[in-house]
Each structure stands twice: as C-alpha cells, then as structure tokens.
Amino acid sequence: MNWGFIGFGRIARKFLTSLESVQGETPYAFASRSNAVELKKEFSDVKVYDSYEALFADPDIDIVYISTTHNFHCQNVIDALSAGKHVLCEKPMGVSSDEIRKMTEVTKGTSKFLMEAMWMRFLPAYREAIRRAKSGEIGEIQYITASFGFNSPNLKPEGRLLNPDLAGGALYDVGVYPLTIVSDIFGWQPDSFQAQAVLSETGIDQSIQVQLSYKGGEMAQVFGSIAMNTNKEACIYGSEGFIKLPLFWKAQEFEIHKGDNIEKVELPFKSTGYAHEIEEVVKCIKEGKTESPLFTLNDSLMSANLVESILSSIFNQS
C-alpha cells in the first residue's frame, strides 16, 4: 500500500524506518504545514505536500498515518476517512470519548480501516508476557505496578507537552501506557480509583499517579510524568510469582520470577518496533476488516473513557 504521513516529527521518523522494513509497504507522500520545504530537500523520492488537504486528495494514497499533536487527531482522522483513506492514528487517537465515537461513526459510514497506534500492544515480548501472566503461570494476578516518566529539559509553555490547547499533559503523552498494561490484565473498568497530580504553571498534569481497585480485589498503581525520570518498568504480581517488564512500553524482554527461579525471555522487535503494528494493519486491510481485533475501536473508547474520568477527578480537585 501507499502510505501518506500527516505531521512529520520524531515519532514519524521512527515509524518511517519500520515502514520501510515491511515488504510491499511504501512511504508515498508526506504533508507538513511547517517544514514541507525541508522535507522536499531531505526526501527527494517522496511526494511532499504543504497542506493536509492536498495529501488527502491524492488518489494514489491508500492509507494515512497521523502523528500531529493530540488536539488535531480527531479532525485529521475524519478528514482522511472521508477522503476514502484507511487510517492509523497515533495515540491518544482522541482526547475525549466523544471524539472516539465521532471517528467510529465516520469509519462505519466509509467501511475504511481505523486503528489507534498503541504500538506496545503488538510487540512480541509484550504480547507473550501478557499471555503468560493470564495463563496462570504466576498464579492469580493480584497487583500491577507500572511507571513511565521522563524529564523533559527546557519545557516551554507553548510546546506540545505543556500546552493545554495542544492536549498536553503526562496522562495523554505517557500515562496511557501504564493504564493500558493494567487494563490488558484487569480490564478497562476499575471498580474505583484515586488520582493525584502535580500541575504545571499552564494547568496541565506534569506528573500523575493513579491507584485503581477492581471488583475481584485486584489493585494497580500507575505513574506518568513529563518532568521526572522513572525506571519505566511494569511488574505483574501473582500469588505464585511475578513478571517484570523493563521498559515495558517498548519491551524486548521480560523476566518470570517464581521463588528463587528467574526465567529470562528475549523477544526482540523488528526494526524500530513499529513494524508489528504496521503488519497487523496490512493484514486486517487485506482481510477486509475495518478494525483490528488486537486493539479495537472499543478499546480506544474504553481507554478514552478511563482517561477522561481520571482527568476529571484531578481537575475537579484542583
């Protein structure tokens, strides 16, 4: 398929490297409102548009990859779908449950494929760790911890991470990863949760902690930050042992701890890691599917619902 890129920053470059590693997939065109001239110089063999509308209108583009700032995702997705393109959109695909519903309705009307690019879900090591945890290998799962924090030097109020108009904040940017691994084990609907956040001067969550409780007595604690480095590790604790995933959101290995025995499992990802979600998208489209069973549009909706509830609780406290 011919791929069009909307927005072209750091993540898009990593995605491009993976796309070039997947046989039969072609980076065909880029659209950027800010650096089209530079992209034309750098990528002489790729079409470059200075407007998204021009890219959407290109009849040779089969699918659009969207990596603009979070606040633009919904409209970008709707415009691409309405132009008859399949769509893969970076997470979070929508900054509210209403946005997810709107996009879902549009894709139903077009019969085109749509998926949120939660790339972690498709990594071999991550999938195997979740499978083995849910298989009962460490007994009954009772508790999960996961953190994803990084320190961004020279943060600017107008920048993507701190600007509320661009849907900035730790939960949208990195906190969705810890929430997703917890939800992959316990489901998207906790019985209750408590959230605390440190707010930036611009009023967004720069660090956020969430404690979640579930009806079966299971518990989880997650942390996300754009102002503090953490070990970026997830641990799944069962009655007979635990599974540790270092750098869980880009997992290439994990450990199963049972008493004094430690089993180390290595399952490296292809290229820069995005190849696995690309392969899933291609497979689904070839099979005529409009969503992936591995990360459904309902997953996106449930994730948005949970994030919405957490942020509402934070800002109602402040």
Domains and CATH numbers, the chain: 2-117 (3.40.50.720), 124-268 (3.30.360.10)
pLDDT of residue 33: 82
The conformation of residue 133, written as its DSSP 8-state character, comes to H
- The CA-based dihedral angle spanning residues 97, 102, 106, 107, taken in that order and rounded to the nearest 10 degrees: 0
The conformation of residue 187, written as its DSSP 8-state character, comes to -
Residues 280 and 292 sit within 8 Å (Cβ to Cβ): yes
pLDDT of residue 160: 82
Residue in this structure with the two tokens 């489901």, named with its chain if needed? 187
Q: What angle do CA 64, 54, 173 make, to 5 degrees?
A: 45
Which of 44, 45, 49 is closest to 8 using CA atoms?
49
d(CA 102, CA 173): 22
pLDDT of residue 37: 86
Question: Residue 13 has which token pair?
Answer: 């470059």
Q: What is the mean pLDDT of each run of 10 residues along the chain (318 residues)?
A: 94 97 97 87 93 97 96 97 98 96 96 97 98 97 98 79 88 96 98 96 94 97 96 98 98 97 98 98 98 97 97 82
pLDDT of residue 317: 63
